């Protein structure tokens, strides 16, 4: 029986219709700027989120790198959260390649960075300090939706202090779908509302949206012009990449609203695991579920991921397990995962 892969929403496979769209896509050379499928995607995502321009890149890591290095120069710094992907899991690229210093801050329990902490981190104009130039936030963060009122407050404050703002919106549409469900509104409108608070936004197509590869950086024409040069230096010019862009376009057309199904499955998984002794289940906002092992249950942590794999369930973590739902997971798979975890702890 095929394993239920809950390691990440990056493991999704293109649907049959997406593959057909990829095969039918017209191609050109994107480095010369004449791949029609790439150009159409860039225009589409920029217009959708309310920006002048966008740049298609291979990965979210490269998108964030292009953003930070487009906003900042050598000797500058960007303010970022300790648990944000751009700081913790992207190899220190801004510092390594751009000599841009990160200033990491601790998160509040809801995933936000306290505005008072942001204020305290901004350096005075003094040669002893790196120049504070950029505030970078992430939404969702570990599956948590950052409140819109907070995003408005934080970005308004940053601008009042002369900082630019960047959003790592790898799962922006998960946040937008959850926000729309709470407000009784439209997910695409909510995505635009969130994105409109920032000077640049990175969006990933290969997570919940289900494309095989790719992200986009959105911003002003001037910023995207700088980012295009950085993408070239970072090896991100992909030539006939229209097939990949077509998959991303298909995802934008067909896979945004269905993210609500992933969120519902994450809640179903949380409810199924909630009664198991030794597990502390964190209620999910979107499609990412964290489960902490407590008390005697921690003694089983070393072999737990391997034991689950033998039961046909793939997950990540040690003392804190992470499960991520996506378009290749259904209710039956979630129920199998619950049964496998129960077997490991109650068998």
Q: Residue 59 sits in a domain of what CATH number? A: 3.40.640.10
**In-domain check, residue 55:** yes
Residues 227 and 273 in one domain: no
Residues 175 and 272 in one domain: no
Model confidence pLDDT, tens digit, residues 88-138: 999 999 999 999 999 999 999 999 999 999 999 999 999 999 999 999 999
Residue 297 has pLDDT above 80, yes or no: no
Residues 247 and 168 in one domain: yes
Query: pTM of the entire structure?
Result: 0.96
CB 251 within 8 A of CB 9: no
CA distance 178 to 333: 22
**In-domain check, residue 222:** yes
Mean pLDDT of 261-283: 95
Host domain of residue 275: 258-346
Confidence of residue 151 (pLDDT cuts 50, 70, 90): very high
CA distance 30 to 59: 16
pLDDT at residue number 347: 62
Average pLDDT score over the chain: 96
Mean pLDDT of 183-210: 97
CA distance 12 to 330: 13
Residues 273 and 188 in one domain: no
CA distance 32 to 14: 27
CA distance 341 to 335: 10
**In-domain check, residue 1:** no
**In-domain check, residue 8:** no
């Amino acid at each position: 029986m095929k394993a239920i892969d809950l390691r990440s929403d990056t493991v999704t496979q293109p649907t049959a219709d997406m593959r057909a769209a990829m095969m039918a896509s017209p191609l050109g050379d994107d480095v010369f700027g004449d791949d029609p499928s790439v150009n159409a995607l860039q225009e589409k995502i920029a217009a959708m989120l309310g920006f002048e321009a966008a740049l298609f890149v291979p990965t979210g890591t490269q998108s964030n790198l292009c953003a930070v290095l487009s906003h900042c120069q050598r000797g500058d710094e960007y303010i970022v959260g300790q648990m944000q992907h751009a700081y913790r899991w992207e190899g220190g690229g801004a510092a390594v390649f751009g000599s841009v210093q990160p200033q990491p801050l601790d998160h509040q329990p809801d995933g936000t960075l306290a505005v008072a902490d942001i204020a305290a981190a901004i350096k005075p104009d003094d040669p002893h300090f790196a120049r504070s130039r950029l505030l970078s936030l992430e939404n969702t963060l570990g599956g948590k939706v950052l409140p819109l009122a907070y995003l408005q407050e934080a970005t308004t404050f940053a601008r009042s202090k002369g900082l630019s703002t960047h959003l790592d919106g790898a799962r922006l549409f998960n946040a937008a779908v959850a926000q729309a469900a709470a407000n009784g509104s439209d997910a695409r409108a909510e995505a635009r509302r969130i994105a409109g608070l920032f000077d640049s936004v990175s969006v990933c197509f290969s997570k919940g949206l289900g494309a095989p590869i790719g992200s986009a950086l959105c911003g002003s024409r001037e910023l995207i012009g700088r980012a295009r040069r950085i993408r070239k230096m970072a090896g991100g010019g992909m030539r006939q990449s229209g097939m990949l862009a077509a998959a991303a376009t298909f995802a934008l057309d067909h896979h945004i609203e269905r993210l609500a199904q992933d969120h519902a499955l994450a809640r179903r998984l949380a409810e199924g695991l909630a009664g198991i002794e030794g597990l502390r289940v964190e209620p999910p906002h979107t499609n990412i579920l964290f489960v902490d092992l407590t008390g005697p249950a921690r003694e089983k942590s070393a072999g737990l991921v391997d034991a689950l794999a033998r039961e046909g369930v793939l997950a990540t973590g040690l003392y804190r397990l992470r499960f991520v739902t996506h378009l290749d997971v259904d209710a039956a798979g979630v129920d199998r995962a619950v049964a496998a975890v129960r077997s490991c702890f109650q068998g």
